[in-house]
Structure 1
């Protein structure tokens, strides 16, 4: 499914990542290296973990209740991958990539954009001189 397409009948569940979207996401993911000594289990593939993350976020179930039958791995594995990708800045990069693509395709209406500059909380309603009037 391409960005901007609506999910209708026959398009599949929203947690299934299309090949086209995966081609955009995969290069942004950090490369995991395995230890040469005592490498442990083979890690789950990133695409399966991403689909598990999307399943949990879409359905609202708890991470530990992610059904193993779906093949996404355990909920804890998906949660750890989400945490690692967040710390690596994957979501910000993906957001930039998709915004750039949409802008170049002329599919963004900037006249409806809202900029919110309230990054700091106003303490007690502002300076005292203004409140005294």
Structure 2
């Protein structure tokens, strides 16, 4: 997990986040180390970042500034983005994660992992 200060621009952590993706188990052979594509909103709209993502052989689907807002910037990102926004809303249901009170990153990460476990348990219980 990459933990930064509260007032940092998200785009500064784009490449470290991509590089920190762990291997994904799947078919026999080499595990996948990177995604096929990257979906991002207008905050990541810069040719430098697009080029750096392409150098990692990942197709960038980054919304362009100045495009109409109707379908989430004309990229079709809305169909994927709601999953992320919904998950953030669930995490903000835990008061301790809404505002970071913990000074130590390991304690904050532990609360984050605990919240993810509780959210997963709730989702499994709703299926049964």
- TM-score by length of structure 2 reads 0.31
Q: Which has the higher contact order (CA 8 A, sep 6+)?
A: 1
- TM-score by length of structure 1 reads 0.30
